[in-house]
Structure 1
Amino acid sequence: MMSLCLYIFVFILVLLLLSSTSSTWGTFMSNWEFLSFMVVVSYSQTLFLAMLIFVFSIIMPYSEYYMGQDVNYLYYSLMMTVFFMSMVLLLICNSLFLLLTGWDLLGISSFLLVLYNKNWESVNSALNTVMSNRIGDFMLFLGVLVWVPFVSMGVGVWSWNGVFMLALFGAASTKSAQFPFSGWLPKAMAAPTPTSALVHSSTLVTAGVLMMMKFVVPMMSSALMVKMVWAGLLTMTIAGMTALIEEDVKKVVALSTLSQMGLSMSTLGMGYCWLAYLHLISHGFFKSLLFLQIGYMMHSMSSLQDPRMFMALGKGHFYLQVQMKISLLALCGQMFTSGMITKEVILNHYMYGTLSVLMVILFMVSLMLTFLYSYRLWLSLFKGSSVTVFVTQSSFLVKGVSCGLVILSASYMLWLSFNFVIIPPLFVNEGASSTVMLVVIVLGLYSYTKNYKHSLLSSKFTSDYALLEVCKLLFPVKFVEMLHFSFNSKLFVSLKLSTLRLNLYMKGANTTALLFIILLVLFW
C-alpha cells in the first residue's frame, strides 16, 4: 500500500511540474450535461491532490502501526482506500454526475469508518454524522434538480442562480461542519485516530469548501458572500469557546479543525479564493501531523483520551515535543511556520477591508481563543502530574514517517516556490525567511536544553509569573497586578459560563433529535 501511494505521489509531482495552466482530460458520454464524464486537472487541483496523496501515504503506514493487529484491518484498509478515492474523484471532477458520485461515496465511506468500532458511542456518532450529511445531500440534489433542466434547455438560467448557489452553500456548510451544522464533527471522533487524521486534514471537512471554490465562486453574489463570512466567523467563535472546556483531547483537535474551516469559509466569502485554498493545503499538513502525534500519545497510554490522565512528558521525548510545538504554532499562525503566512495576509484583509466592526471583533476573539485552547492543550499534555505509564514504542513509523509533515508544516510556502507555482512574492519571501529562522531557533533550543537542563525558563515560578514581572517593570503600579488577575479570572469565567450550555447541548441527544425532526420535515 505504501509503495503504491509513493508511486502515485511521484506521478502527481511530475504532473505538477509538466502540466500546463489547465489540462482537460475526458470524454463526453452523452450530449446531456448531467451525464458528462469530464475530468479537469489544473495547477491548483494538482497541488491539493499532491498534498492529499502525501498525507494518505503517511497515514496508511501509521494505521498499520496503530491498529495492524486488529482482526478487521483489511476491511479498514479497503474503506480508507474508498474514502481516499472518492475525495480524489470529487477534487478532479468537472461534471455534476461525477460530483454527485464522489459526494455520496464520501458520505457512505465516512459513515462506515465512524461505525468501525461497533459500540454504542460509534453507532450514535455514525448516525449523527450520516443524518447531518444527508441534509447537505438533500440541498445538493435540490440545487441540481433546479439547475440541470434549465441548463439543458438553455432558458431561464440566470434567474435560478440564487437558488442554485444557496442550495450548494447549504450542502457545503453541512459537509464542512459550518454553523449551524457543526455538531456532527466532534462526535465523529469515535472513528479510529488514523481515520480522524485523514478526515480533518484533507478529505471530508474540506470537501464543502472545495466545492464552493469550484462551482459557486464564479457566480457568487454579494448577499451570499456576506452569509459565508458570518457562517465562518460564528463557526470559529463557537468552536474556540467549546474547545476551552472540552476534556477529550481528540475533540479539542476536532474543534480546532472547525475553527480553521470557518476561517477558510470566511476568507472565501470575502472573495480571496486563492488565499483560502492555500490555507486549506497548509492546514492539511500541520493538522495531520498533530493528529498523528496525539494518536501516538494515546496509543502509548492505553488509549486514554482525557489529557488530565496523561503523564507529564515535559522532561523527555524531545522529538515528540518538537513536532507538537511546530503543529500547534502553525495552528496559531505563529512566526516561522507556514500557518503564519496565510493567517497574516487574512488578518490584513480583515483589518483593512470593508467589513463591519462586529465581524472584525469576532475574528479577533476567535484568534485569541485559538491561542488559549492551544496553550491549554500543550499544558495538559506536557505539564501534567498524572502517574499514567507511558509505554514508549520506538518505531520508524512514528519517528521517521512524520518527518515530511514536520518539514512541510514549517516550509510549505518555500516548497511551493521551488515547484514553479505562481504565488504572490510576499508568500515566497516570508516562506524562505521563516524556514531559515525556524531551523536556527530549533537548533538553538535543542543545544540550550541539552546544556542547561535546570535553566531559568524551565522554572515553574518563572513560567507562571514572567508576563506579570514584565508588566511590573514597564508599569510599576500596583493596579497593574490587580488588573491582570482580574482580567484573566473574568475572561475564563465568562467563557466557561457562555459555553457550558452549548457544550452540554452538543454532548446530549438534543442534536440527534433536532436533526431527525429537520429530516422528517424535509422528506415528508
Structure 2
Amino acid sequence: MFKSVYVYKYSMIFLLMGSLTNFAMCLNCLYLGSSVYVEWEIVSLNTWSIFMTLILDWMSHLFMSAVMLISSMVLFYSGSYMSQDSSQDRFMFLVLFFVLSMIFLIISPNLVSILLGWDGLGLVSYCLVIYYQNEKSNNAGMLTALSNRVGDVAILLSIFLMFEVGSWSYIFYLDMMKSMEMVVLQSLVVLAAMTKSAQIPFSSWLPAAMAAPTPVSALVHSSTLVTAGVYLLIRFSPLLESSTAFKVLFLISSTTMFMSGLGANFEYDLKKIIALSTLSQLGVMMSILSMGLKDLAFFHLITHALFKALLFMCAGALIHVVKEYQDIRLMGNLVYFMPLTGSYMSVANLALCGTPFLAGFYSKDMILEMMFMSDLNKIIFLLFFLGTGLTVCYSFRLVYYVFTGQMNLSAFHNIEDSDLMITNPMTPLFTGAVFSGAFISWLIFPYPYMICMSFYFKTLALWVSVAGGLLGYYLNMVSMNYPLKSLDNYSLVVFMGSMWFMPYLSTKGLSSGVLSYSQKMKILLDKGWSEFYGGQGIYHFVFTQSNFLEMLQSNVIKVFMMLFMIFLLMSLTMLL
C-alpha cells in the first residue's frame, strides 16, 4: 500500500510541475502574442516524408495546464480512494495513458496524429469503464466504445478527404477548405465531435460511463474525454463558421442541454446526476461554439473543468463513506458529519449554477448575454432559459437530498472528513472554482466586450436561477413528504427521466434494428456471394489453374499425348 501511495505522489508531483510550466508558457504566449509550430521529420525516402507536427499556442498550453492540474489531484485522491484495490498500478498507468492521449490530441494540428490521441482516449476509456469487470461495467463499456467508434470512422473519412488539399495539417488549409466540395468534410468533423461530446443522438453513453471508478469520472467528465469533441471544433471553427453543419449542431446542442437538465431532475443516482450536468454544460459549449464564439466556448470549457472535477471528487468522498451507496435517497443530513466536503460540494454546485462571482458566473453570464444579442428565435431562447433554470433546480435538489434531508443509512457507519488524501486534493480545485473565472477572463479577454442591454434582460439570468432554485427546493420537499406523486403521471416521468428513451434506442433498439440487419448482410454477402466470387473464389480459381500449368510444364509424354487426343477429338467433332 505504501509503495502505491508513493507512486501516486510522484505522479502527482510530475503532473503538477507540468501544469505550472504550461501555465507559465501560456502567459508568455499571451504576452508576446505568439505561437510555436514544431515540425519534426521522422522518415524521409526520396520525395516521401513523414512529419510529426505540434502546435504550442496559448490555448493548447492553458488546456494542458488544466488537464495536468486536474489529473494530478485525481491521482493523489486515488491513492486513498483506490487503496483497497488489488491492481492499483494498472489503474494508475491507465489514467496516465489517458492523460497522455489527451495531451497528444491537444497539441496536434494534424488529422493523423489527432486520430492517435482520439483513438487512445477511446481505447483507454473502454478499459477504465470495464475496470470492475462485472456485467454492468461490460455493457456500459461496450456502449461507450461503439458510440465513440462512429466518431473514429468520421475522422478516418476526414483523413481520406484531406487528400484533396494535399496535406493532413488542416490548420494551414482551413480557409481553403470552405469550398462547396468540402461540405462532407465539415459534416464529418461535426459528427466526430458530437459522438465524443455525447450530443443527441449519442448521449446515452455518458451516464453509462459512470460504471468506471469515481476518480476516473472526475477526470473523464471534466477535462479530457468529453471535452475532446469541443476542442476539435474550436480548432476547426474557421472552417465551419456560417456552415450548415454548425446550424444543425446549434439546434442539436440546445436540445441536448434541455434534455439532460430535465433528466437530471428525475435521476436518483448521485454520479449520474453529475454526469447529466456535464452533458448539459457540453450542450452550452457546443451552442456558443456554433455561434462562432470559440474563445468564449473555450473559457467555459476551462472553468467548467475545474468545478466539475471538484464536484465529482466530493461525490466520490460521499459515496466512499456511506458504504458505497450512490442513491441520494439513502443519504441525508451529511453536512453535520462531513462539513468540509459539504462546503466544497456546495461551492462547486453554486459555481455550476452561475452564482456571482464564482468561476461559472463569468462564462455562463457572458454566454447568456451573447445569446440575447444574437438573432435567436423564441424556441432556442426558451430552451436556453429552461436549461439554465433546470441546472439550478437539480443542483438544489442534490443538496437538499444529500445534506439537509433525513439520515437514511440502514446501519451505523463512521462518516467523517478525516482522510487527508481525499480532502487535500480538493483544495486547489476549490480555489479554482472560486477564482479561476475572474482570473482567466482577464487573460483571455483583456479588452472588455461592450454589452448593452436593458435592466430586465441583464437580470433575467439571475431571476431564472432564483426561480429554478426555489422550484427545485419546494418540489423535492413535497416529494419527500408526500411520496409517490410521480405515479399520477408515470408515463411522462419515465419519458423525461430516461433521457427520452435514448439508452433503450442505443442498445436494444439499435441491436434489433441496425445490428441485426448488418448480421444478415454479413451472412449473405461477406460469407455468401462476395466470399464465393471474392477472396475464396479467386483463390480456388488461381490454385486450379496453377496446378494445370504446372502439369503442362512437367514435360511428361503422357500429358502431350492426352492433349493431342483431346485436340484430335475436337477437330473431328467440328468436321462432322
What interval of TM-score do these two structures reach, taking the shorter chain for normalisation? 0.7 to 0.9
CA contact (8 A) 2:317 2:341 kept: no
Q: What secondary structure is seen at the aligned counterpart in 1 of 2:220?
A: helix
Pair 1:397 & 2:421 matched: yes
Give the deviation of 1:401 after TM superposition: 1.8
Give the deviation of 1:499 after TM superposition: 4.9
Equivalent residue in structure 1 for 2:28, among 3, 15, 18: 18
Between the aligned partners of 2:275 and 2:268, the Cα distance in structure 1 is 12
Taking the TM superposition and a 5 Å limit, the aligned residue runs for 1:85-234 are: 85-151=100-166, 158-234=179-255
Give the deviation of 1:191 after TM superposition: 0.2
Alignment correspondent of 1:355: 376
Between the aligned partners of 1:391 and 1:321, the Cα distance in structure 2 is 12
Structure 2 gaps, min length 5: 1-10, 451-468, 475-482, 523-576
CA contact (8 A) 1:168 1:216 kept: no
Deviations 1:378-419 (A, max 9, x none): 11111221342352251222332211111111111333367x
Equivalent residue in structure 2 for 1:67, among 42, 58, 82: 82
Q: What secondary structure is seen at the aligned counterpart in 1 of 2:334?
A: coil
Pair 1:5 & 2:15 matched: yes
Between the aligned partners of 2:514 and 2:48, the Cα distance in structure 1 is 32
Alignment correspondent of 2:494: 500
Pair 1:81 & 2:91 matched: no
CA contact (8 A) 1:33 1:95 kept: no
Residue 156 and residue 228 in structure 1: after superposition, are their counterparts in 2 closer, same or farther (change >3 A)? Answer: closer
Counterpart AA for 1:49:
M
CA contact (8 A) 1:165 1:220 kept: no
Give the deviation of 1:12 after TM superposition: 1.3
Counterpart AA for 2:235:
K
Between the aligned partners of 1:500 and 1:233, the Cα distance in structure 2 is 22
Give the deviation of 1:35 after TM superposition: 4.7
Give the deviation of 1:36 after TM superposition: 3.2
CA contact (8 A) 2:338 2:417 kept: no
Is the deviation greater in 341-350 or in 107-116?
Answer: 341-350
Residue 414 and residue 242 in structure 1: after superposition, are their counterparts in 2 closer, same or farther (change >3 A)? Answer: closer
CA contact (8 A) 1:408 1:415 kept: no
Counterpart AA for 1:108:
L
Residue 492 and residue 206 in structure 1: after superposition, are their counterparts in 2 closer, same or farther (change >3 A)? Answer: farther
Residue 240 and residue 33 in structure 1: after superposition, are their counterparts in 2 closer, same or farther (change >3 A)? Answer: farther
TM-score (norm: length of structure 1): 0.82
Equivalent residue in structure 1 for 2:60, among 29, 45, 50: 45
Alignment correspondent of 1:290: 311
Give the deviation of 1:352 after TM superposition: 2.4
Give the deviation of 1:320 after TM superposition: 2.0
Counterpart AA for 2:160:
L
Alignment correspondent of 2:448: 425
Q: What secondary structure is seen at the aligned counterpart in 2 of 1:346?
A: helix
Counterpart AA for 1:512:
T
Q: What secondary structure is seen at the aligned counterpart in 2 of 1:205?
A: coil
Give the deviation of 1:136 after TM superposition: 1.3
Equivalent residue in structure 1 for 2:69, among 54, 62, 80: 54
Pair 1:281 & 2:302 matched: yes
Counterpart AA for 1:2:
M
CA contact (8 A) 1:241 1:499 kept: no
Between the aligned partners of 2:516 and 2:374, the Cα distance in structure 1 is 42
Structure 1 gaps, min length 5: 428-462, 469-488
Deviations 1:207-249 (A, max 9, x none): 0010011124334333222112111111011101111111111
Equivalent pairs counted in the alignment come to: 468
Between the aligned partners of 2:66 and 2:124, the Cα distance in structure 1 is 20
Pair 1:36 & 2:51 matched: yes
Q: What secondary structure is seen at the aligned counterpart in 2 of 1:36?
A: strand
Counterpart AA for 1:501:
F
Is the deviation greater in 85-94 or in 32-41?
Answer: 32-41
Between the aligned partners of 2:151 and 2:90, the Cα distance in structure 1 is 27
Between the aligned partners of 2:240 and 2:503, the Cα distance in structure 1 is 39
Counterpart AA for 1:47:
L
Deviations 1:420-477 (A, max 9, x none): 55544369xxxxxxxxxxxxxxxxxxxxxxxxxxxxxxxxxxx999x99xxxxxxxxx
Give the deviation of 1:27 after TM superposition: 1.7
Counterpart AA for 2:331:
F
Residue 116 and residue 12 in structure 1: after superposition, are their counterparts in 2 closer, same or farther (change >3 A)? Answer: same
Equivalent residue in structure 2 for 1:511, among 506, 511, 518: 506
Deviations 1:463-516 (A, max 9, x none): 999x99xxxxxxxxxxxxxxxxxxxx9x99999754522544658654213444
User: Computing the radius of gyration over CA atoms, which structure comes out larger, 1 or 2?
Assistant: 2
CA contact (8 A) 1:37 1:97 kept: no
Alignment correspondent of 2:556: none
Between the aligned partners of 1:207 and 1:520, the Cα distance in structure 2 is 31
CA contact (8 A) 1:27 1:37 kept: yes
Between the aligned partners of 2:397 and 2:120, the Cα distance in structure 1 is 37
CA contact (8 A) 1:308 1:386 kept: no
Between the aligned partners of 1:312 and 1:511, the Cα distance in structure 2 is 37
Pair 1:259 & 2:280 matched: yes
Identity among equivalent pairs (%): 31
Between the aligned partners of 2:48 and 2:107, the Cα distance in structure 1 is 17
Deviations 1:196-217 (A, max 9, x none): 0001110000000100111243
Between the aligned partners of 1:521 and 1:227, the Cα distance in structure 2 is 28
Between the aligned partners of 1:34 and 1:99, the Cα distance in structure 2 is 18
Alignment correspondent of 1:331: 352
CA contact (8 A) 1:172 1:207 kept: yes
Counterpart AA for 1:17:
L
CA contact (8 A) 2:265 2:497 kept: no
Is the deviation greater in 391-400 or in 164-173?
Answer: 391-400
Between the aligned partners of 1:383 and 1:157, the Cα distance in structure 2 is 55
Between the aligned partners of 2:293 and 2:179, the Cα distance in structure 1 is 24
Q: What secondary structure is seen at the aligned counterpart in 1 of 2:55?
A: strand
Deviations 1:340-393 (A, max 9, x none): 111111111222210111110111111111111111111111122134235225
Alignment correspondent of 1:483: none
Q: What secondary structure is seen at the aligned counterpart in 1 of 2:356?
A: coil
Q: What secondary structure is seen at the aligned counterpart in 2 of 1:24?
A: strand
Is the deviation greater in 200-209 or in 494-503?
Answer: 494-503
Alignment correspondent of 1:486: none
Between the aligned partners of 2:209 and 2:263, the Cα distance in structure 1 is 16
CA contact (8 A) 1:282 1:409 kept: yes
Alignment correspondent of 2:263: 242
